[in-house]
């Protein structure tokens, strides 16, 4: 058995209930329990591309990557195991999608860390299903309910928009900075006070705010945006469209789907996977950046000041600069020789 999260360990305490069930795993999956659990059948829906890449090795077509699940994929599933994400709004979005396609009577198990807000499940799903806590361990809670009736779900009802200067930002639940521009990204954008040109890659683009703001200020800039999150990919496309900008939006685990070299790589890199700190993506982005920069190309990122990026930058590039900082954030730049 692979290394499991505390939430999955709680699920395994009840594994005898799943032996004859047709399982659908969904939500904020952080491990490969779905490939190891004993059940009549297992399918997984995830909106995280890097998790899907790991799952398809053993599940093949029974693992699906996308923003929303559809009834064709979930047909035959009679038990849902849902991992609660850190955003309640994202949980509501995902669960209402699933409850619009799963049949009434579906058994529902919802698990998550207590600090994630999972204990609000009964209130959030009032009138749709009644949930009862059936276990608590490893600072996680497991709830059980049964779907009463299918609900209506329309993805278009979940959009949010806000302005950054003259740029319109369109976001869906689960996207970083869903409601407003975060402080770190604002600091990073403030360092681009002079015009830039050439080609730019925005890694972990979220709703596409960095590339969009810079693209509007620099009309000749060639834009590529990438993310692992299906909601971020769709949000970025909508943001570019709203601002009448052209750009290539790529689903990619860091550089996994990137083939060209750029004059600029920019990012406000994530250091969480769910609620856990995880620097893997940011470390890979820095370490491999010289391979995706043209000669003289620059990597410019913003990060919490306590994160260990200076050593990584020096190892990858030979040196780096701090071009802006506050008490909490630093903007780093490194140039390919």
What is the pLDDT tens value at each position of the chain, 337 positions in all? 579 999 999 999 999 999 999 999 999 999 999 999 999 999 999 999 999 999 999 999 999 999 999 999 999 999 999 999 989 999 999 999 999 999 999 999 999 999 989 999 988 898 899 999 999 999 999 999 999 989 999 999 999 999 999 999 999 999 998 999 999 999 999 999 999 999 999 999 999 999 999 999 999 999 999 999 999 999 999 999 999 999 999 999 999 999 999 999 999 998 745 444 568 889 999 999 999 999 999 999 999 999 999 999 999 999 999 999 999 999 999 999 9
Shared domain for 137 and 240, answered yes or no, is no
Please answer whether residues 302 and 331 qualify as being in contact, where contact means their C-beta atoms are separated by less than 8 angstroms.
yes
What pLDDT shows up at residue 280? Answer: 87
Residue 43 to residues 37, 232, 261, 273, Cα–Cα distance (Å):
11, 23, 37, 22
Assigned domain for 166 exists: yes
Specify the pairing of strand 140-146 against strand 293-304: unpaired
6 alpha-carbon distance from chain centroid:
20
Say whether both 140 and 230 belong to one domain.
no
Task: Using alpha carbons only, give the angle 170, 110, 25 rounded to the nearest 5 degrees.
Answer: 75
pLDDT at 127 (0 to 100): 86
Q: Are 123 and 177 found together in one domain?
A: no
321 and 183 in a common domain: yes
Q: Do 314 and 191 belong together in one domain?
A: yes
Tens of pLDDT, residue by residue over 283-320, are: 999 999 999 999 999 999 999 999 999 999 999 999 99
Residues 124 and 190 in one domain: no
Structure tokens belonging to residue 70: 């559809």
Q: Which residues, 6 or more positions from 29, have their beta carbon under 8 angstroms from its beta carbon?
A: 44, 46, 48, 51, 55, 83
Count of structural domains within the chain: 2
Q: What is the pLDDT of residue 282?
A: 92
> Both tokens of residue 262?
């750029």
Burial status of residue 157 (CB atoms within 10 A of its CB: 0-12, 13-18, 19 or more): exposed
Residue 193 CA to residue 171 CA, distance in Å, equals 26
Q: How far apart are CA 208 and CA 170, in angstroms?
A: 9
- Please tell me the predicted confidence (pLDDT) of residue 240: 98
Q: Are 150 and 177 contained in the same domain?
A: no
Identify the pLDDT of residue 278. 62
Last residue of a domain, one of 123, 155, 187: 155
One-character DSSP codes across 253-294: STTTT--S-EEEEEE----EETTEE--HHHHHHHHHGGGGEE
* CATH code, domain with 283: 3.40.50.150
Residue that is last in its domain, among 95, 130, 155: 155
* Residue 79 lies inside a defined structural domain of this protein: yes
CB burial of 282-297 (b: ≥16 within 10 Å; e: otherwise) equals bbbbbeebbebbeeeb
Phi, psi (degrees; rounded to nearest 5) at 257: -115, 15
Q: Which pLDDT belongs to residue 184? A: 96
Query: Looking at the structure, do residues 149 and 173 belong to the same domain, yes or no?
Result: no
Q: Is residue 71 part of a domain?
A: yes
Q: What is the value of pTM for the model shown?
A: 0.95
What is the predicted pLDDT for the residue at 272? 46
pLDDT digits (tens, 9 = 90+) for 217-271: 999 999 999 999 999 999 999 999 999 999 999 999 999 999 999 999 999 998 7
Domain of residue 121: give its range.
6-155
- For residue 146, the tally of other CB atoms under 10 A from its CB is 12
Characterize the bridge pairing of strands 248-251 and 262-267: unpaired
CA–CA dist 181, 278 (Å, integer): 22
Q: Which residues contact 228 (CB under 8 A, 6 or more apart)?
A: 48, 49, 50, 204, 251, 252, 253, 281
Quick one: 113 and 248 in the same domain? no
Residues 144 and 260 in one domain: no
Residue for token pair 């996680």: 140
Q: How many residues does the chain have?
A: 337
**Same domain? 131 vs 198:** no
Domain co-membership, 150 together with 170? no
What phi-psi label fits residue 221: left (phi over 0), alpha (psi between -120 and 50 degrees) or beta?
Answer: beta
Please tell me the predicted confidence (pLDDT) of residue 275.
46
């Amino acid at each position: 058995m692979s290394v499991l999260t505390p939430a999955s360990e709680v699920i395994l305490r009840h594994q005898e209930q799943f032996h004859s069930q047709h399982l659908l795993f969904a939500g904020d999956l952080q491990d490969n329990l779905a490939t190891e659990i004993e059940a009549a059948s297992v399918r997984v829906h995830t909106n995280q591309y890097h998790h899907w890449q790991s799952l398809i090795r053993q599940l093949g077509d029974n693992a699906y990557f996308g923003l929303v699940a559809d009834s064709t994929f979930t047909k035959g599933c009679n038990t849902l195991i849902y991992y609660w994400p850190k955003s309640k709004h994202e949980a509501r979005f995902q669960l209402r999608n699933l409850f619009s396609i799963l049949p009434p009577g579906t058994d529902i198990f919802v698990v998550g860390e207590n600090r994630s807000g999972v204990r609000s499940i009964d209130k959030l799903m009032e009138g749709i299903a009644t949930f009862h806590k059936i276990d608590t361990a490893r600072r996680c809670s497991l709830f059980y309910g049964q779907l009463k009736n299918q609900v209506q779900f329309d993805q278009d009802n979940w959009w949010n928009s806000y302005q950054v200067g003259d740029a319109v930002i369109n976001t869906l639940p689960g996207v970083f900075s869903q409601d407003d521009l975060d402080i770190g990204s604002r600091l990073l954008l403030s360092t681009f006070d002079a015009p830039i040109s050439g080609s730019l890659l925005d890694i972990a683009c979220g709703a596409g705010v960095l590339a969009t703001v810079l693209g509007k200020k620099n009309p000749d800039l060639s834009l590529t945006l990438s993310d692992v999150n299906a909601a971020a990919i769709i949000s970025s496309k909508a943001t570019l469209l709203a601002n009448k900008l052209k750009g290539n939006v790529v689903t990619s685990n860091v550089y996994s789907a990137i083939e060209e070299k750029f004059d600029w790589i920019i990012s406000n890199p994530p250091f969480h996977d769910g609620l856990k700190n995880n620097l893997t993506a940011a470390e890979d982005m820095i370490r491999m950046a010289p391979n995706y920069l043209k000669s003289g190309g620059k990597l410019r990122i913003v990060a919490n000041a306590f994160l260990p990026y200076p050593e990584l930058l020096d190892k990858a590039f030979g040196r780096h600069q701090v071009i802006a900082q506050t008490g909490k954030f630093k903007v780093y730049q490194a140039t390919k020789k």
